[in-house]
Amino acid sequence: MKLFITTLAFIIAIVNCSFAGTETPSPVNFPKTLSNSLKEEKRLFEVEAAKVCACQVLRVTSKNENETLIAVFAQGTNNGDLSAGFASATTVVEKEKKHLKGLFYDKVQTAENLTAPTRCSVLYKEIQTKYSQVRMYDVLDADALSKLHNK
């Protein structure tokens, strides 16, 4: 058996050598994997920035809908000044509340105002335990919207 395997390996080596040219082999381009592409962009190993979240739980009614609980969130980056982060996120939520009242709902009442030095997904899970029927309206980007409104 060893003789057969050795002979077969020798024949394969001779066949490979006889068909090989004198040119250098062409490079093989393998497709990038997700981790390789993320490593190149340095996203895989970046520390995620701390977030702040502001939320208003609203009781809304319209001609087509009975009273419903919705939660409007604004999430911003925590740059070390929590009061400034909360203020910009709260301002974004207040502006969105005005848009909701002006465009979609006849009656909008604030059930609760919340702020937390965390991601809005964590705050939403906490709100769901208190208000079982709450629906998430949106998570707004407080950083981008604050820059947009300040221009």
Gap between the Cα atoms of 83 and 97, Å rounded = 21
The answer to the question of residue 9 being in a domain is no
Would the pLDDT of 134 be above 90?
yes
Instruction: Give domain status of residue 127, yes or no.
Output: yes
| 90 within a domain of the structure (yes/no) | yes
**Domain assignment of residue 102, yes or no:** yes
**Percentage of the chain lying above the pLDDT 90 cut:** 47
Q: What is the reported pLDDT for 147?
A: 77
Q: Is residue 45 part of a domain?
A: no
79 within a domain of the structure (yes/no): yes
What pLDDT digit, counting tens, does each position of 30-86 carry?
A: 555 655 665 665 555 555 678 999 999 999 999 888 899 999 999 999 888 888 889
140 — pLDDT class (breaks 50, 70, 90): very high
Against a cut of 0.85, is the pTM above it?
A: no
> What phi and psi, each to the nearest 5 degrees, are found at residue 114?
-135, 145
Strands (E), 67-124: 68-77, 107-116
* Domains identified in the chain, total number: 1
Q: Is residue 63 part of a domain?
A: yes
Which domain, by its residues, includes 91?
Answer: 51-150
- CA 31 vs CA 28, 37, 40: distances in Å: 10, 10, 14
Instruction: Answer yes or no: are the C-beta atoms of 125 and 116 closer than 8 Å.
Output: no
- Sheet architecture: strand order including 51-61: 107-116, 51-61, 68-77, 135-141
40 lies in some domain: no
- Take residue 122 and report the two structure tokens written for it: 């964590």
